[in-house]
Amino acid sequence: MLKRTSKDHGTIRIGITQGEISGISPEIIAKTLDFFNDDKTIELYVIADKEAELEIKANLKSPLSKHIIFNNPDYSKIPEQIKNCPELSCVYCASMLSVNGELEAIVTAPVDKNKTSKKYPHFSGHTGFLKEILQTEQVLMLMVTPSFKIGIMTEHVPLKEVINYISKERIISSVDLLNSYLKSTKTEPVIGVLALNPHSGDSGLVGREEIDIIVPAIKELNSMGIKAIGPIPGDTAFVSPVKERCDGTLAMYHDQGMIPAKIKGFDSLVNVTLGLPIIRTSPGHGVAYDIKGKGTASPNSMIKAVNQAIDMVLAERISK
């Protein structure tokens, strides 16, 4: 159960998880709390263990208002296989609080995938972990910048294995999730589906995935009333005039979508997980060990992630 304030229940309740405290997570969380300190329209609940709480508080520039509350994870309610990993324990707690309606969204601070996987085997990122603990069939990693909204269909998969994850069904379900998200701001969004191979396969000369998988998926999406176009070659999808035709884009693999997203909006990049029963966002960067303790870490992406969560909560409230 959250420690609660006596505030109006009309306020938006957002949980922030501690992330990897050996990196810049404590600093960017503290700077984000400072940024929202006087905002009485939201309640921010920092889900962190005692060590992380102390480090975050040490980075604060001003005393916290009563609208910002620290909550330590309740380890009695955390599965045994997660308990030895503080950063994931906090994500688990925040997720369950959101499922139960005590939080309306969660914002996860960056973790070190390699370090975390040593404590929780097979961990490859928040997206897969949330899909697992919330028992969700299909999710989509969405990268949001001021310029682009790019779905990453195959998440954190080695490049040599990407082809095993490309299917008509996965494309359809991914575009469907993206379309539902985009419809919160546009009645009939247009979604560009990227090609897998160079030059969209050159009519089968350098690969048949476009002919055999992607085009049939687009045709079926169109028959469902979803305005999907493509396959669009990856080297032209994010330049004019092609980019202006699309409200969102589905990339076939990680770097195909992440490179343009980070080039165009690294400091404002937000990661959103679509398809979960809860709202989850995060900053679009990592733990940045190299600038730990220097006081130079930018909180912009974290602040954008909180604002993105707020926007999604408000959209969800309106739709109910």
pLDDT tens per residue across span 236-286: 999 988 889 999 999 999 999 999 999 988 899 999 999 999 999 999 999
Q: Is 66 exposed, middle or buried (0-12, 13-18, 19+ CB in 10 A)?
A: exposed
The reported pLDDT for the residue numbered 251 is: 98
Residue 6, pLDDT score: 40
Residue 233, pLDDT score:
96
pLDDT band at 159 (very low <50, low <70, confident <90, very high): very high
- φ, ψ dihedrals at 226, nearest 5°: -100, 130
- Residues 49-69, mean pLDDT to the nearest whole number: 95
2 has pLDDT over 80: no
- pLDDT of 1 strictly over 70: no
Query: How high is the pLDDT of residue 8?
Result: 43
pLDDT of residue 163: 95
- What's the mean per-residue pLDDT of the chain? 94
**Could you tell me the two tokens for 229?**
């176009």
The pLDDT of residue 122 = 86
Q: Are 177 and 305 in contact (CB under 8 A)?
A: no
For residue 3, what pLDDT band results from cuts at 50, 70 and 90?
low
Q: Over the stretch 220-238, which tens digit does the pLDDT of each residue have?
A: 999 999 999 999 999 999 9
Residue 5: pLDDT band with limits 50, 70, 90: very low
Instruction: Give the chain's domains with CATH numbers.
Output: 1-136+277-320 (3.40.718.10), 138-275 (3.40.718.10)
Q: What is the pTM (predicted TM-score) of this model?
A: 0.94
pLDDT, residue 43, reads: 96
Percentage of the chain lying above the pLDDT 70 cut: 97
pLDDT of amino acid 82: 96
Model confidence over 161-204: pLDDT tens digits?
999 999 999 999 999 999 999 998 899 999 999 999 999 999 99
